[in-house]
Every structure is written in C-alpha cells, then in structure tokens.
Structure 1
Amino acid sequence: MNKNNRFLKFTIDSNDKKTVRKFLVQHKFSSSQLHNLKNKGGLIFVNHKQRHFDFKLKDGDNLLVVLNVEEPSDLIVPMPGKIDVIYEDSYLLVVNKPAGIASLPAKAKDSQTMANLVKAYLIAKKENSSIHLVTRLDRNTSGLMVFAKTSYSHSLLDQILHTEDFQKFYLAMVYGQVEPSEGLIDLPIGIDPRAFYMRNIDHQQGKDSKTLYETVKRYPCASLLKLKLLTGRTHQIRVHLTAIGHPIIGDDMYSKKIDERMPRQALHCYRLNIVHPVTKRLLKLKAPLPQDMVMLDSVLRGEKNG
C-alpha cells in the first residue's frame, strides 16, 4: 500500500453503531471525509476483508480504515530549511517555531514560512504533504506549533482545540509588577478600527476572550508571567496584557515603544498538553526558552529598581 496512506484501526464494541457508515460518523468523520474515503481511493477492511459503507458490524470486529491520499495544494510552495521537531507521529507534527518567521504565507508573498518548511520536510519523508495548520503563532512569537498530517486528524484536533484536552501555555516578560500576581483576564477582543491588523478591547462587538495568568518571577521593574489561553483570538495575550497596563517587553505594536533590550515581543509558547485524539495518550510537550528571552531574563535580573 502507498506510504502516503494513513491507517486507522478500531475494534467494535457494544456501544458502537453497527454499520460502517454510522460507525465512522460516530467517530467524527465529516461528510466530506466520507465522500473522499468512498470516491478518492480510501479503503475499508473488516476482519481483513474489503467492505463497503453499508456493511453490518458485530461486536469484536476489527475495522481498518485506509484514508485516501490527499492532493496537496499548490498555494504553499515547499522550501527546504531547518525545523525543530518536538513531537511527531502518523497523525500530527509539533514544531518549535523561531521568532521572525510567519506561520503561513500572506497573499502574494513568497518568503519562507513555517508552512513552506513543513511541506518540504514532509515531502522529503515521502509523506502526505497537505498542510493542515492546527495552531498558529504571530511572526515574532516563538514556540510550539501544531500541524495535523491528514484532514481527519485535523478535524479531531479542531474539535478539542479550545477545551481542557488541548491546553496552551505561554511565557511572557512584561513591564512592571502585576497585581494581583495571578488571575483571569476576561475582556472581549475586536478589530481595532484604526488599523485592521491590530486588535483592541471592544465591549460592544468584541469576541469573548479569556486568559489566565500567573507571576512566576518578579524582576525589579518587570515580571515573568505564565499564561494559559482559554480562547484563541488573534493577538490575545498581547492585547490582554496591554489592557491591564503590563504590555509585553519588545511589543512595540501595543506598548508603543521601541525597547533596545528586545527586538520582538518577549512571548513564547513553551508548553502544550494535548490528549491525543486517536491514541488518547496525554502528550506533554515543551519548548525551551529561546536565547533572546534567556538574555532578557539576565538583563532584567541585573537592573536596579527605579
């Protein structure tokens, strides 16, 4: 069988629907995935015999689904380069994104992005190279980013993205000492009317946005915060921390000041706890603090108050 294919194995139990089609719907296959499975070369085997969607299942049956090969889009051009792989299996790929590189290409831009690098990486491994971005990071935010390897695993990850089964933790170095030292920032975020690429707090039309924060280190004039995203709005952490009066060091877009100590926002996605949607194993993934934030930490520790 083609190496690009992905296999899913199930054992039928008493709670499962008893035709192949109903079973697959129960296991979160979308109608387009069922269509592709049926019409684009997917295969279904029950107890090692090829079967169709209307086949009747019994308790204890072994079901093997061979997903169809996906045709990668030409919109993302493969670009070889180094990527820091933190975790990989047949379903997902987690990479540690450096600061200064975008997650996805903007329209009409051919500069290197994480999507271009990941596509080249998958092609080199002779794997399905369709790009399925599950989480993205701003260009100047570093840390863990998740790609799904098939449309099926993408939809499974999407369904848990903003639940406790998919927890995202960040570290940020901010101006000032935050009081109270931990809490929940619950402020709606909307598009800034002055600039479409910026966000602001908008109590009229903004979307519900929640960020948990906890101070993990106090410097004389700054704080290191651990943050947990409960929602996933564009620029959420940057806007929320600015709104409580503690913008991220180096975030000139929101702090409105250039800081020689840090050329980008000191924000890093350092940890993900994901309940794997297929194996149900808890993945605890970490990306170490990048060198520029390690340097900033030592600068902040050495500063005198005032």
Structure 2
Amino acid sequence: MKFTVQESDKKILRKFLVQKKFSNSQLSNLKNNDGMIFVNHKLRHFDFKLKTGDQMLIVMGEETPSDLIKPMEGQLDVVFEDKYFLVINKPPGIASLPAKARTSKTMANIVKYYLQQKGENGTIHLVTRLDRDTSGLMVFAKNSYAHSMLDQILHGDHFQKYYLAIVYGQVSPSEGKVDLPIGIDPDEFYKRVIDYEKGKQSQTLYRTVETFSDASMIKLKLLTGRTHQIRVHMKAIGHPIIGDFMYTKHAEPLINRQALHCTELKIVHPVTNETLDLTASLPQDMTDLCQKLRG
C-alpha cells in the first residue's frame, strides 16, 4: 500500500497508520510478522517522524492461510481485480464458504486456488457472500487491511449493492421501500422471519423493471445486510421470489433455484478513491425464465 503524507495527517508513523484505519492486529502484523514500512525508500519504524509530502510504502507481513479452506481448482469469472480486492461473478448452485466439516467445493476454495496459482497470499477474506442458489457479484479482499477498509464502507453510500429478482405477481406499488425487521425463525434456525420484537431493522428499496402476466422483474438495492433479506422482504409483501422453495414450499417447474442475482456493485475504492461500477449480466436460467414468462 502506498500513501503520500498530507498536511492534515498525523506525523508520528504509528499514529499515521491508526489514522488510516489500520487495526491493532494489522499493526501487530507489521511489527511481528516481518512487515516493512518504507518512507522515501528507507526502512522506518513506528516512532519515525513524518513530514508533509513523504512517500510511504507499506508491505504487510505474511498472513497464514487457514487450513479449513483447501485450495480447489475451478472456473472463476473475474469481474475486477487489483492488489487490494477481487470481484467475481458467482454461478448458482455453489456455496460462498465451506460449512463445518464440509469438503465440497465453494467459491472460497476456488478463489484460494486462483490466488495461490498467481503466487499471491491465499488467505481468504470474504467481504460479501451470497446464498448457494443466488448468483452474481461477490467481493474478496486480498489482505486484512483491504478487508477492514471495505468492511467500514459496506453498508454506506460508498458500497451499493443491487440485485435483480423475478417474483410472483405484479408488484404494487411498482416501486418503494420495504422497512420490516428481520429475525431468526424460532422453529428453523437457518431461516429468517419478520420479527417486530427481536428483529433487526432491515430496509430494501425496489423498483419494477418488467411486468409479466403474473410475475415481475424487480431491481433491488440493499440498505442493510441481513441474512436472506431480499427473500424474506419479498415474501412479506406478498411477492416471494420465483423458485425460492425455502420460503414458498412450492416446487417451481420453470427454474430450479430462487431467481435472484446480484447484478451491480457501485464501490468507491477505499484506498484509491476510484469509483467502480461493476456489473454482471443476468445468468442463462433467469434469462430463460423471463422468456417463458413473456410467453
């Protein structure tokens, strides 16, 4: 990571790093895991006094990859990549992370293999996850610093997530905001329900983009990030997602998974300040579903 010291920045090196959102564990990594800090090409320590205009290069110490996630070869659709993070387009039918005692291939396993083949650290830092049968854009950070920087903007204006869903019925009004608290289903812990007493505030914006005879395609923006948020909110307003057997208990012959896809991410890069607008087009099974619904 590179920084240029500004007039308003702290001038003691350690305080500068704290100001730049380095966590205690990351400072410890720099100090104890062979991390290096160069100021104007010279190796410096935490007590060094900086001057405005100094050029700084941070080389983090090696992170030890977890043995719980094994590298596994697999197809990876890379949408964006730099030295800080990786954005991929996940297909449906594959989990984001391995469950305990689970040896099946997940996106984390494939990403770890991909990074190691490139000679990069294979430590997995999952920033956003998707349900097994939800497709679309997922973000992995390449180190703990990038992870913490992304995590800090994850639910603000600098990190906006948009989904496309095909739902039962014609949604009325055609656009709006669902503001209903979501909690854990007391009968089935892996499911979520609207819970006015114990639920956490959950907000989803939606807008209809196409109407069919008895279905709608809607674009959704998450304002909060609850588990199964879109699936629960759509069911709550009477328009569950087509193919979402978990929340409808209805087998859908037209598609074999919930018709939900993370289609766009708008991210202000937390290190470079570049504005990224990343997209993933509708997958084939949802495209086919639209064609069938159009008749």
Q: Same fold (TM over 0.5)?
A: yes
Alignment of 1:177 with 2:179, yes or no, is no
Residue 113 of structure 2: which of 117, 120, 124 is its match? 120
Q: Find the aligned partners of 2:41 and 2:72 in 1 and give their Cα distance.
A: 40
TM-score by length of 1: 0.96
Could you tell me how far 1:185 is from its partner in structure 2? 0.2
Could you tell me how far 1:60 is from its partner in structure 2? 1.1
SS of the residue aligned with 1:270?
strand
Could you tell me how far 1:193 is from its partner in structure 2? 0.9
Alignment of 1:257 with 2:253, yes or no, is no
Please identify, of 44-53 and 225-234, the stretch whose mean Cα deviation from structure 2 is larger. Answer: 44-53
SS of the residue aligned with 2:30?
helix
Residue-by-residue CA offset, 1:78-107 (whole Å, 9 max, x unaligned): 110111101000000000000000000001
SS of the residue aligned with 2:290?
helix
Alignment of 1:291 with 2:284, yes or no, is yes
Q: Find the aligned partners of 2:224 and 2:138 in 1 and give their Cα distance.
A: 16
SS of the residue aligned with 2:264?
strand
Residue-by-residue CA offset, 1:116-142 (whole Å, 9 max, x unaligned): 000000111010100000000000000
Residue-by-residue CA offset, 1:1-33 (whole Å, 9 max, x unaligned): xxxxxxx11111110000100000000000110
Q: Find the aligned partners of 2:148 and 2:51 in 1 and give their Cα distance.
A: 27
Superposed CA RMSD in Å reads 0.5
Residue 101 of structure 2: which of 108, 121, 133 is its match? 108
Q: 1:201-220 counterparts in 2 under 5 A?
A: 201-220=194-213
Residue-by-residue CA offset, 1:113-167 (whole Å, 9 max, x unaligned): 0000000001110101000000000000000000000000000000000001000
SS of the residue aligned with 1:297?
helix
Q: Find the aligned partners of 2:2 and 2:245 in 1 and give their Cα distance.
A: 50
Q: Find the aligned partners of 1:35 and 1:102 in 2 and give their Cα distance.
A: 32
Q: Find the aligned partners of 2:239 and 2:254 in 1 and give their Cα distance.
A: 17
Aligned residues: 295
The residue aligned with 1:42 is: 35
The residue aligned with 1:239 is: 232
Residue 75 of structure 1: which of 48, 68, 72 is its match? 68
Q: Find the aligned partners of 1:64 and 1:93 in 2 and give their Cα distance.
A: 21
Q: Find the aligned partners of 1:272 and 1:215 in 2 and give their Cα distance.
A: 19
Could you tell me how far 1:46 is from its partner in structure 2? 1.1
SS of the residue aligned with 1:120?
helix
Alignment of 1:54 with 2:44, yes or no, is no
Could you tell me how far 1:246 is from its partner in structure 2? 0.1
The residue aligned with 1:154 is: 147
Alignment of 1:136 with 2:136, yes or no, is no
Please identify, of 166-175 and 63-72, the stretch whose mean Cα deviation from structure 2 is larger. Answer: 63-72
Residue-by-residue CA offset, 1:199-246 (whole Å, 9 max, x unaligned): 000000001100000000001110000000000000000000000000
Alignment of 1:186 with 2:179, yes or no, is yes
Q: Find the aligned partners of 2:39 and 2:72 in 1 and give their Cα distance.
A: 40
The residue aligned with 1:3 is: none
Q: Find the aligned partners of 1:58 and 1:105 in 2 and give their Cα distance.
A: 47
TM-score by length of 2: 0.99
SS of the residue aligned with 1:294?
helix
SS of the residue aligned with 2:147?
helix
Supply the AA of the counterpart residue of 2:49: K
Residue 200 of structure 1: which of 169, 190, 193 is its match? 193
Q: Find the aligned partners of 2:80 and 2:59 in 1 and give their Cα distance.
A: 23
Q: Find the aligned partners of 1:14 and 1:287 in 2 and give their Cα distance.
A: 41
Q: What are the ranges of 5 or more consecutive residues in structure 1 without an aligned counterpart?
A: 1-7
Residue-by-residue CA offset, 1:232-271 (whole Å, 9 max, x unaligned): 0000000000000000000011122111001000000000
Could you tell me how far 1:58 is from its partner in structure 2? 0.8
The residue aligned with 1:5 is: none
Q: Find the aligned partners of 2:56 and 2:76 in 1 and give their Cα distance.
A: 35
SS of the residue aligned with 2:64?
coil
